[in-house]
Chain A
Amino acid sequence: MRRIDCLRAIYDELSDCAVVTIMGAVAAELYSLGHRPNFFYLEHAMGLASSMGLGIALAQPRRKVVVLDGDGSVLMNLGGLTTLARYAPGNLAHIVFDNQSLLSVGGFPTATATGSDLAGIAAAAGIRNARTVGRLEEFTPAAVEAINAPELACVVAKVEAVGPGSFHMDLHLLENRFEFQRALRPDGGSKP
């Protein structure tokens, strides 16, 4: 299963959500499918995409928030899973692309390559709706359900360690930041 195919499969579901991605391949691949103002690409601060998603979800309980995370980033903030579980906002979906490697920095294996089970860790942290999927036919309904479910859900998608041909994004991180903030306003940024 390739991450780009997963992203393509849920792209339309993301149109009304606040989407927070990690840096690297996840950001570049989502961007390549077509940028939207409600997509925020966290280009550093590994581990904090899920914390940002929690902050948005708690601040705007009526907006659906989708965090597109990765194994390396989740491993940097395992404690954050316990915080997600504690507040368990129903409007948050946590989708983790697990390619068992730090692909953007040379492909070195992460601990999921040697057996660490992120969905198991999430479940043990208290996220009741956490599961692992390995095929696109499983991923798509699981992710769509996670996005639309009225409870916090975590989907760990086992994907191949392949990334985009280019990581280039014609979007400065501050441009993205201000545009995203505007998109999260109740008027969607349509008013001056």
Chain B
Amino acid sequence: MPVSERNSRLVYDALVATGVEVVSALPETWLVHLIRLAEDDPAMILVRLAKEEEGVGISAGAHLAGRRSAMLMQNHGLLQAVNGIVSLAQLYKIPLLMLISDRGHLGEPDPWQTQGGKATRPVLDALGIVTDELRDPATVQHQVTRGMTVAESSLSPVALLLTRDLMWEASG
């Protein structure tokens, strides 16, 4: 499978290094290694979701109970979770670190991913969510740490888009 194990490990290690203890996730191809790493880590609380919006509730509960968390989801999961993001995370000032696989962007071969790909950035922008792209393995740790910092200082959701360049080993 050409999903990058090495870079998935980098992202996972960055989450752990920034103090994340709870990860909620719904699987998709680009996230398989990340989710396995969370599953294999006895110190991580992994919550497998039926639908992404639940993850906003999990993170809100974890935050109020004093634990750092992150959500792992596809960009279509972001679209699925919008009401929870607005009506819980934003309304109640919950820091919410969202790692979102950036499907449907440059290089996407699957037609079914392309419409959501076009909506991802405009939706994040419309919601006023601070967004950055994880692309260069050398800066992943730094960006994840900074993402958590601003999520907590602003008590707001932050989106880190997992780009094809980072997550996929084959070119194209």
Contact = CB atoms under 8 A, between A and B. Distances in A.
B64 A180 contact: yes
Interface residues of B, number: 31
B91 A173 contact: yes
B48 A44 contact: no
A184 B65 contact: yes
A24 interface: no
A48 B64 contact: no
B83 interface: yes
Interface string B39-58: 00000010111110111111
Contacts of B64: 40, 52, 56, 177, 180-181, 184
Contacts of A105: none
A75 B49 CA distance: 16
Contact of B48 (A18, A48, A86, A173): A86
B57 A177 contact: no
Nearest to B92: A177
A79 B83 contact: no
Given A44-B88, A49-B57, A79 B66 contact: no
Interface in A63-88: 63, 77, 79-80, 82-83, 86-87
Nearest to A44: B87
Given A49-B57, A79-B54, A55 B22 contact: yes
Contact of A54 (B53, B57, B84): B57
A53 interface: yes
Interface of A is mostly: helix
A8 interface: no
A45 B84 contact: yes
Nearest to B88: A45
Contacts of A51: 53-58, 60-61
Interface in B13-46: 21-22, 45
B54 A80 contact: yes
Given A60-B66, A79-B50, A55 B57 contact: yes
Contacts of B84: 45, 48
B57 A52 contact: yes
B169 to A, nearest CB: 32
Contacts of A50: 57
Contact of A173 (B47, B59, B92): B92
A59 B45 contact: yes
B50 A54 contact: no
A135 interface: no
Given A181-B64, A185-B66, A48 B91 contact: no
A77 B54 contact: yes
A4 interface: no
Nearest to B55: A51
29 contacts: A40-B64, A43-B91, A48-B54, A48-B84, A49-B57, A51-B55, A51-B61, A52-B61, A54-B58, A55-B22, A55-B69, A56-B61, A56-B64, A59-B65, A59-B66, A59-B67, A77-B53, A79-B49, A79-B50, A80-B51, A80-B57, A83-B47, A83-B48, A87-B47, A173-B91, A174-B93, A177-B64, A180-B64, A181-B66
Given A20-B61, A180-B64, 17 more contacts: A18-B65, A40-B64, A52-B61, A52-B64, A54-B47, A54-B61, A55-B69, A57-B61, A58-B47, A58-B61, A59-B62, A60-B65, A80-B50, A174-B93, A181-B63, A181-B66, A184-B64
